[in-house]
Chains A and B, each alone.
Chain A
Amino acid sequence: MKWWSMGVLGLALLYVVSGFLPPSTHREWHELGSLPVLHLGRVKPIDSVARSTLLGFKGNQSLKGSDTHTPTEWLFKVMSVGTDDMNLFMVRQSEVLNALNQNPESKPALSFKTLLPHLTMIDESAQHAQSKPAAMRSLADREWLRLRQNVVVYTQLKNTLKPEGVPSFSLYTQRYIRLLPPFRTLVASHMAGQSTLSPEMAELLLYFKQFQHIAEASAFRVAPPDTPNGVWKTLGDAYLILLKEEQTHPLAPVVSTVMASIEAHDQPNLAQSIASWNAIVTDLVPSGTWHAKLEYTVNRADVMIKITVLYGVVVAMCLMGWLMNRPTWWQLAQRLGWLTWVIHSLAIGVRMWLVGRPPVTNLYTSAVFVGWVAIVLGLYIERRSRLGLGTMVSGMIGVITLIIAHHLSLQGDTMEMMQAVLDSNFWLSTHVITICMGYGAVFLAGALANIGVIRLVTGSFSGEQRASLSRMIYGVLAAGLVLSFIGTVLGGIWADQSWGRFWGWDPKENGAFIICVWVAAILHARWGGMIKDRGLWVMSIFGNIVTAFSWFGVNMLGVGLHSYGFMDQAFFWLMVFNASQLVMMWLAFWPKAFSK
């Protein structure tokens, strides 16, 4: 390997690794963001709670206009000093904006203060929307539901680590803790009828009420189990244990000190109390803490985005190689492709370890995995054919699938818990993986055919190269048929094992069926001599449309009639993709192309 080739790979590696370097500023927020809490059924770092909340409110993770530097700082600002003036709630439907007396043109996001006079209407509109069957809800209905959900979450957040509107929470809780020891004697004497309700007891009752309130309103549970069979508790419950036991949960006073330090802008105290928080959770739930820290590191490193960029560089290098007709560029691109793929694999591996599941558990992970399969097949083909095509296609597929994955990740937590019906690691790791590998192979064949058509049209293809490309496509399609078929069969066996029937014509099954039938049709047409190179390519490109339907299309069924927020956009892009593939098919019939 030449020195400059090493240099490029070194730079790429450095680019990815740089995301893992410890933060140089706002350390306390980074440290706080890495601590574990139980949110929506899953132990995750506070940073992940902050990110998914931001996503839910604004549709992105941007902190612009919030005067904060990390998602965690933003979250704690919401929970402590309050952010009623901050424009947090993105509302996109003009019908909803009109109802809220907002000009649909002007404001990108609304503040809680703006929404406050309309809360009843928001709730009523959302209730109305909820009464309709899910498929019949309009875009505005969905927006009302989303807005109500966000308002509820916002209110919950303000009542998670302290009751809303109570200043100096630390002092408040200290007084509570001080009052409690004599509490039992007070109760005892009260019960014995020896005293009337003392002022101290009245005050304590007020505290109980407040803690009861935040125990119920809490957005997440902050206190890890402190006994072997214990459960995660909200802060309110962590204080209320005092009713039964001698001590509060050890974390309760620490969390309150953190909140008080934030309100008082007391940096040294904040850093110190975060350190004790860390020590307590590490002691109580060592593995949960370790998982949360790893997840936090992955969140912050933005590895997926960096991998996407690197795949883009691979594509650019291949293009350079063609334009300048210098195969050295291809070699470099190929090496960078392999390096990026290895990092891609590591990212998948870390994720599997974090969630304790096989690589594909939802649409997001399927995009990451389908890309991964197609890329390694493409790179392998390149090793055998050395046309620069395999690398180019791998890079392209990498960029496209990871962009799709990125947009899917904006729908919320990508590590959400599995529905009971899908909760089977055995079938997830056999059926789902094989099916996704089938998707990957059929996409690779289609992508190769796309490149073939482009090179034909631009006239840079010799007869031998053409034949070689067709052989590649044929081989990949054969692999695609075997994988899709076995994947479908495994799905049938899963269905038979759990439901007593092998096949039920459910949309996802139909999608898999259509892929198998289509690829079988291509191969039979090829064997029968009905199609030559051009026919093979055109049919393979259509295979992309078929696979995209099976992969995403069936999830969007009904979208044309009654729209879904995200899937609406996704539907648009699916149609753009399909149109682009139809154009490529048409280009393949460009008369000049094949006369050469």
Chain B
Amino acid sequence: MMVQRWLQAIVRFFSSLQLTVVLLISLGAVVFFMTMYQVETGIYVANQRYFGEWLIWWESPIGRLPVFVGGGVLSGLLVINLIVAHFTRFKWTRKKIGLWLTHIGLLILLIGSGITAVQSIESQMMIQEGQTVSYSEHLRTMELGVETDHSPTLNRLVSFPNSLLVQGATLTQSSLPFSIQLYRVYPNSRIELNASVGESLPKATHGLGKPMTVFPMPVILRDDYRNQMAIMADVYHHGRLMGRWLLSNGLDAPQSVTVNGVSYRLFLRAKREYHPYQVRLDRFTQEYYPDTTIPKHFASAVTVTDASGQSHPATIYMNHPLRFGGNTHYQASFGQDGTSTVLQVVSNPGWWVPYVSTLIMTMGLFIHFGISLVQARKGR
């Protein structure tokens, strides 16, 4: 019975405490190296690289080499280890109830955080005093949008997400009478008006971008830095090239393309989340301790108007976010002029998972080590 023996070996492997120890140490090591890597790239990119993929890669001089298993995979293995061990090795006795609770809590935490990592959305809302805003912007994800006034839906037609914005790709959509070919995609760029150099670089033939030269720049990986993406987009109508447009989040205005007498607006911008409510910044205040640059207090007085038109005034300040419409809005930053605010908007439907799981784990740890402590005292 070869198969049975193999199966037994696999089960034994996945239920072993040795595997637990190896996984725990590996996870610690991965987090350590990720922390070091964060110095260069910021938290987001480091996390993608160490937890987001199956393997951790090293960009070596001779090519991309796998170095270690990704943190997400390690966590997954830990979950399997825990489940298999519970069904095979664990004794369900009263003395072990603490251990049992701790591990159930951990299981909920690991699975739950895996799910929330996918579900939670973080974006930012920038508002000037007196301005009303109904959307927030993603820091790192861009979208290529096509808008027209003749559309019945929200003034908005099509949005192509970040993942499709690859050099050479062709963007089409059934509701669009034209297609967009991405001739050049620069993840970061410098745009100059009437530049004296850069003759050989591709230029736009239509629109605002005509007098501009786009210089490619290395991508800067920092949590607080926004790269200026630029795209040279060729628009085709029935297979005929209509021209080349420059799209960039550095240009404030959209580009217009007219097809069949209908004017379309093309733009590249930070991906937006539209909310069913509006936020107006009434007043932004900042306060420092006297004679210092240590911020004592900064606060945004806002008025939120919900879909039914009802107003809700609120003040958002440090450690006091505003929870509204399933989102948490907290004071993240502010403009240099002192009259604008930056609110971080977080939507996290699985917010309760860590609360429940860690409560169970804490109870488990107390029970388990409490029992050990009592026994140790008795034993003396």
Contact = CB atoms under 8 A, between A and B. Distances in A.
A327 to B, nearest CB: 20
Interface string B1-35: 00000000000000011101100110110011011
B275 interface: no
B372 interface: yes
Interface stretch (B59-67, B211-219, B244-252, B354-362): B354-362
Given A514-B32, A518-B28, A419 B294 contact: yes
Contacts of B113: 503
B346 interface: yes
B39 A558 contact: yes
Majority secondary structure, A binding face: helix
Contacts of B288: 41
Interface residues of A, number: 61
B29 to A, nearest CB: 9
Nearest to A501: B346
A420 B298 contact: yes
A380 to B, nearest CB: 13
B87 interface: no
B31 A513 contact: yes
B39 A505 contact: no
Given A489-B362, A492-B354, A510 B319 contact: no
Interface string A495-509: 011111111111100
A421 B290 contact: no
Contacts of A546: 28
A41 B18 contact: no
Contacts, number: 156
Contact of A501 (B17, B348, B355, B361): B348
Interface in B188-223: none
Contacts of A518: 24-25, 28
A420 B319 CA distance: 9
Interface string B342-365: 001010100100110010011001
B299 to A, nearest CB: 9
Nearest to B296: A420
B366 interface: yes
A405 interface: no
B43 A506 contact: yes
Nearest to A421: B318
Query: Which residue, A42, A504, A524, has most C-beta atoms of chain B within 10 A?
Result: A524
A208 interface: no
A482 B184 CA distance: 54
Contact of A41 (B43, B46, B291, B319): B291
Contacts of B346: 499-501
A500 B330 contact: yes
Contact of A517 (B31, B292, B323, B373): B31
A485 B319 CA distance: 22
B292 A417 contact: yes
B348 A500 contact: yes
Interface string B308-347: 0000000001111101000111100000000000001010
Contacts of A419: 294-295
A96 to B, nearest CB: 24
Interface in A32-65: 38-42
A40 B289 contact: yes
A554 B35 contact: yes
Given A485-B365, A505-B47, 18 more contacts: A41-B290, A221-B290, A416-B294, A418-B294, A419-B294, A419-B295, A475-B373, A482-B369, A489-B354, A492-B354, A500-B328, A500-B330, A502-B351, A504-B43, A507-B35, A510-B34, A514-B31, A524-B20
17 contacts: A41-B294, A420-B295, A420-B298, A420-B317, A421-B318, A478-B369, A482-B369, A498-B321, A498-B330, A500-B323, A507-B35, A510-B32, A520-B24, A527-B17, A530-B18, A557-B39, A558-B39
Interface of A: 38-42, 220-221, 231-232, 384, 416-421, 423-424, 427, 471, 475, 478-479, 481-482, 485-486, 489, 492-493, 496-507, 510-511, 513-514, 517-518, 520-521, 524-525, 527-528, 530, 546, 549, 554, 557-558, 561
